[in-house]
Amino acid sequence: MGLEVERKFCVRSDEWRSLGTPVLIRQGYLCEVPERVVRVRLADGQGWLTVKGINIGASRLEFEYEIPGKDAADLLQAFCIPPLLEKRRTRIPDGALTWEVDEFLGDNAGLIIAEIELPNADHPFPRPAWIGEEVTGDPRYYNSQLRMHPYSRWSPSHSP
């Protein structure tokens, strides 16, 4: 069983942009109910199929499998629930850990979220100056929710 421990934060400045090279990601969902999501992702010609369970704090079960890029593209087109989600991801190494900064596109343009995967929930980690408010556990920031309730449609009182 795979356990993912991940913390999410809003990004408050552009300082991170010079720290890595962005990769375009297209992703879609085959299943999205509160108890589980099944996601297809295509990035840099490579595909992944991911099954995630319900969040319990910053943790949840996650199973991810690499699949051929063509299979991922075909799944995105033929089976995923529209609309697809697009974002540019920049991976930023920070010691033994890695920040992943997602700059969302399309209806979610303007939203930039940084995530860090941890070995366990109590693991300490540095917070770079460009990291803002923590949004771990806030369902508005789940990718599957952004697909259905895009950032561009949030009221000003609900924006970060």
Q: Which member of 29, 141, 142, 151 is catalytic? A: 29
Does an H or E element contain 137, and which?
none
Q: Is 141 one of the catalytic residues?
A: no
DSSP E strand stretches across 105-145: 112-117, 131-134
What DSSP string runs through 7-18? EEEEE-SSGGGG
What tokens were used for 140? 């508005």
3-state secondary structure of 32: strand
Contact 120, 5 (CB under 8 A): yes
Cα gap 158→69, rounded to integer Å? 36
What tokens were used for 72? 């991922």
Contact 50, 42 (CB under 8 A): no
The set of catalytic residues is: 29
